[in-house]
Amino acid sequence: MAFYIGEIRRMRKEFFEAYKDGDYKKALILGKGILNIYVENDDMDCMEYAVDMSNLAMIYDQVQLYDRAIELYKKAAELKKEYSGESLSYADTLNNMAIVLNQVGKQKEALTLHNKVMEIRDGKLGREHADYIHSLYHMGNTYELLKEFDKAIEFHSKAMQKARQCKEFSTLDLADLHGSAARAYEGKGNYKKAIYYYEVCLDLIEKARGNENFYYMMQMLTLASAC
């Protein structure tokens, strides 16, 4: 690997720059190119290959090629587990795969993965860590998609309680969490609670980004609908 690691690092840097700029076509080309280098050198039996495969899956997710994203996430997770056990990196890949599974209507599979991610993050990071709180949030979202609104509210409530005490949990993430709780209450038919959480969500978005952005506008329309 020493002979071509410099080329992989250069391409990986360009890959993340393209991803940051929203140039997903370029990112796909670079991501595929990186994996091809491993294949051409018969060096797929390494943790780095699994990480770069997971990165490429992330781009397929962004362009809504979900089946391909799931395929790569699954392969990457298997390799990560083989080389590093049930590591945080392995948990991150399972988490990403679970989110995509939700996109294609496979909530039961997503729940299984989110539970595993929570277990790993609990053991390695503790329940006050931002990543564990995100797992609670994702569990709530999955239950909401299953229309199990009481369970969704249960997980969102746990996440909100912990998030308020977590300095690493961003204001926008907290807004997302309140918006998700609002949707769950709305799904249950508790519009008073839904309106309250939508209003908190709007306040948090305004605090982080102001009120002249697409996210604020969409949440405002959602609140209007609930009202």
Q: CA-CA distances (angstroms) from residue 126 to 87, 101, 167, 201? A: 14, 26, 15, 26
Q: What is the DSSP letter of 210?
A: -
Question: Among all chains, which residue has been given the structure tokens 């140039």?
Answer: 23
Which amino acid, residue 95? N
In a 3-state reduction of DSSP, which class is residue 62? helix
For 33-76, how does the pLDDT look when each residue is reduced to its tens digit (9 = 90+)? 999 999 999 989 889 999 999 999 999 999 999 999 999 999 99
The pLDDT confidence band at residue 1, using thresholds 50, 70 and 90, is low
**End-to-end CA separation in angstroms for the chain:** 60
Cα-based torsion angle of the residue sequence 171, 172, 174, 175 in order, rounded to the nearest 10 degrees: 120
Which amino acid, residue 137? Y
Is the distance from CB of 140 to CB of 184 less than 8 angstroms? yes
Which numeric CATH code is attached to 126-227?
Answer: 1.25.40.10
Assigned CATH class of 1-118? mainly alpha
The yes-or-no answer to whether 1-118 and 126-227 have a common fold is yes
Confidence (pLDDT) at 4? 82
Q: Where are the domains of the chain?
A: 1-118, 126-227
The mean predicted confidence, pLDDT, of the chain is 95
For 80-124, how does the pLDDT look when each residue is reduced to its tens digit (9 = 90+)? 999 999 999 999 999 999 999 999 999 999 999 999 999 999 999
CB neighbourhood size of 113 (10 A)? 24
pLDDT of 156 over the 80 cut: yes
CA atoms of 121 and 214, how far apart (whole Å): 33
Buried b / exposed e along 36-48 (16+ C-beta atoms within 10 A): ebbeeeebeeeeb
